[in-house]
Chains A and B, each alone.
Chain A
Amino acid sequence: MSASNANTSKLIQVEYDDEIVRMFTMATIIWAAIAFLIGVFVAFQIAVWQLNFNTGWLTYGRLRPVHTNANIFAFAGNAIFAGIYHSSQRLLKTRMFSDFLGRVHFWGWQFIIVLAAITIPLGLTQGKEYAELEWPIDILVAFVWVVFAINFFGTLLKRNEKHMYVSIWFYIATIITVAVLYIINAISLPVSFSKSYIVFAGIQDALVQWWYGHNAVAFFLTTPFLGLMYYYLPKAVNRPIFSYKLSILHFWSLIFIYIWAGPHHLLNTALPPWLQTLGVIFSVMLWAPSWGGMVNGLLTLRGAWHLLRTEPIVKFLVAAVTFYGMGTFEGPLLSVRSVNAIGHYTDWIVGHVHVGTLGWNGFLSFAMIYYIIPKLWKTELYSKKLANIHFWLGLLGILLYYISMLVAGITQSLMWRALDNNGNLVYPEFIETVIRIIPLFYFRAIGGVLFLGGFLLLLYNIYKTMKLSSHDLKNETVQINATPQTVSLSEHGHRRLEGMAATFTVLALIAILVGSIIEIAPTLSIQKYIKPEKKVASFTPLELEGRDIYIKEGCHNCHSQMIRPMHSEILRYGKASTIEESMYDRPFQWGSKRTGPDLARLGKKYPDLWHYMHMINPRSVIKESIMPAYPWLAKKRTNFFGLRKKISLLNNMGVPYSEKELADADIMAEIQANEIAESLKKQGVKENVADKEIVALIAYLQALGQKGVQ
């Protein structure tokens, strides 16, 4: 468009690509059903260990990441795409840039989900939370995301609306930041097609992982959903957005501050204190910018509150935004070091996350689904009453879930910390603190059942609604006034920026890169934080293989390896963990949840036979244990030969190995395995298990905390 007709607008006809929105909406609903179902199942697994069925791919350690990935990437992911494809076309007054890229995006994403659903239960995992997918799938994710980005920014460039509405800002921030986060966090070197080692080690990996993990919450579960909220909430209540100024302020402050807050997942650990301090202050400063979204949403409802009584969509939106407010208040609170000392590693964090995912992401997506389906299937919703029941069931489910986890978390944490008058632990046996909260695990699972039950009503309601619709679904075609994109000099400040998509995107990129670089760059030279006199030995080849089995079985989902410098932890587990002790760990194992005890100094605490019996059946040594049994470890053979490649790769990445270890990794591993098997035999194990995985795992467990100062 030329500058000469800058102030004129012309009437043109635009046909939206609604088919792609219908596809993503259907995918959202289908994956949600699966993701919620797995969620309920893993919740019951924690309460009832028998539900692990002594079967590898059905154990909690493997299914928990299936649950998280399914909810984040399959359910929330498809919901985001449905909403972005639906609202962007309308906000930008144009069809998507490319129908073909849209289909590549759709089918590519569903293919990734299927691959994830197959590989994660098989134990093919990088062992990093919400980033479990192995490297070939990571490449696929990056590719599909780039396809999406091209399609979105292409649409942005051919828009017929000069200014970008606030939803679009949030979409821009989402797309660029997720790309940066995902790619950097996944950088790894492959050993084989199904196994790789992350390039970052120890604190580097801890920091990068939680920079990613925290901002996956920020830029996958928050910013895109805020964008959706800014479209669907005013649409549903037909009211103007409360404050344009607040939109600007909270958008920029949110994306700038959010990216810094990752280290709050590592408070009171061995992470250098300056990073912990940054994590605390940026998390606290995040409170108001987050609430900006809630406030702008809720105040937009002024004058339309009566709709809350009659419109289930409004109910879902209000509850979603309120849960967002609750979660974003609790987040900064949990980022205060002393509060974090109580909450970290407990179920409180699990509860906190579910306020966000079930309440904010779940309910907002349900509102969007109830809004989009009748619109795009050209009919009315089959039953408002069912949608209302869905709302109340879901709400009750979330509250039951959250309250039970909050109580469980605080109860257990206080038991971990309780000291008697002599300075001894009141509950020295970890299992005592588990037994106490098992009833709450049942309440949590029941909360999940209610939430799932509500969702089944949605399924039925949507099915009936689609039945009502005619089979010939046409794309929506509208007459629009195309406004030219040329920069007008009469505009100032932010308004002008809203007309400049490329500049806007670059500024958003800068906003998220500042915090990222300042926090991550210094730790890339890890040597600065390693005291030479405190360096530790690397794992032997067999121990390394055991470590890979540990990660494959998902042990890190329930066990941390980070003794925090707190009196009660030192009494319970031994002296505080140091940076040096995890300097070769790929991925790091500091963990995020202690369903079982910390294992940082487990080595030599029990005899080999204890571990053997514990793995075959945990109840044989700890009667009330809720840990799954791992009998297959005594049957599956260890892949000794593969160790040569692993050891030489790790050596190239800076882990010190001797010439002998490099040349004969497999032979050395077999020798060590024979020694352990021999000792097991002496103690009464009848089978020869030298070449079985259980021996490698025992070697690793016995090495934990034993690598000492070299």
Chain B
Amino acid sequence: MSKDTAKDEPVLGYEYDGITEYDNPCPAWLMYIFYSTIFFAVFYLGYHFGSIKSEKLQGTAAVTPPATTIQAEEKPLEMSEAQVTALLTDPVALAKGKEVYASKCSSCHGGAGEGLIGPNLVDNYWLHGSGKTSEIANIIISGIPNTGMAAWRGRISEENILQVAAYVKFLKGTKPENPRDPEGKLIEE
């Protein structure tokens, strides 16, 4: 610290309700911090205003999500119906599908697929598509605009989406309590 410069000589002739003051200089280290921050400020100001880009000064610079994300959004999932149907007989896949369903889907479609905010998933009526597992998987991944059915791309991995789709297919035909009324068109298989 600045002990060498702090001579502790009082400022003579002034006291306020018994309080006096020393005539010490400001500690040098503190002044160096002060000068450094001013130097930083000048540099930073120059950095931001020096390389004049009108976009920098007016409005937020546009930030685009990275290319990989954009590409992913346009691409539907490619799979064969047989590939997903195979999952229906795979207990591990169904178990995983059930787990994901419970955490992401059940709040709208009900714990047992009986429907709640969204349609039930157990009857033979379908609002979108014809109930194929691959169609279900693509609805999960891309969502249905303006219905509240979210696009789960990026929020559920592709592997898990296929597993959930299989689990949804598995739910079909079960008889949960208090199902939501059928919606959409009847599709007999």
Contact = CB atoms under 8 A, between A and B. Distances in A.
Interface residues on A, range: 35 or more
Interface in A582-638: 604-607, 609-610, 613, 620-623
B59 A287 contact: no
Contact of B68 (A422, A428, A609): A422
A588 B107 CA distance: 32
Interface string A200-238: 000000000000000000000000000000010011000
Interface stretch (B9-17, B78-86, B133-141): B9-17
B63 A529 contact: no
A253 B38 CA distance: 12
A242 B24 contact: yes
A570 B63 contact: yes
Interface in B37-58: 37-38, 40-41, 44-45, 48-49, 56-58
B56 A273 contact: yes
A576 B49 CA distance: 23
Interface in A41-82: none
Given A241-B20, A684-B180, A531 B63 contact: no
Interface string A285-303: 1011101100100010000
Contact of B16 (A165, A291, A578, A623): A165
A161 B117 CA distance: 75
Contacts of A428: 154-156
Contacts of B38: 285
Interface stretch (A31-39, A185-193, A274-282): A274-282
A58 to B, nearest CB: 26
A425 B154 contact: yes
Given A605-B148, A613-B117, A285 B68 contact: no
A570 B65 contact: yes
B21 A240 contact: yes
Contacts, number: 172
A291 B154 contact: no
A63 B142 CA distance: 41
Contacts of A425: 154-155
A163 B30 contact: no
B22 A243 contact: yes
Interface residues of B, number: 58
Interface stretch (A1-9, A244-252, A443-451, A466-474): A244-252
A91 B117 contact: no
A321 interface: no
A427 B177 CA distance: 32
A284 B19 contact: no
A22 interface: no
Contacts of B49: 274, 277
13 contacts: A91-B17, A165-B19, A235-B18, A240-B21, A277-B44, A284-B44, A285-B40, A287-B33, A292-B26, A429-B104, A567-B65, A571-B65, A620-B107
The 4 closest A-B pairs by CB, nearest first: A288-B34, A607-B148, A428-B155, A281-B41
Interface of B: 6, 8, 10-11, 14, 16-27, 30-31, 33-34, 37-38, 40-41, 44-45, 48-49, 56-63, 65-66, 68-69, 72, 103-104, 107-108, 116-118, 146-148, 150, 154-157, 180
Given A423-B154, A607-B118, 15 more contacts: A90-B16, A90-B17, A163-B14, A245-B23, A245-B26, A253-B34, A273-B57, A273-B60, A277-B45, A284-B40, A285-B40, A292-B26, A429-B104, A571-B65, A605-B148
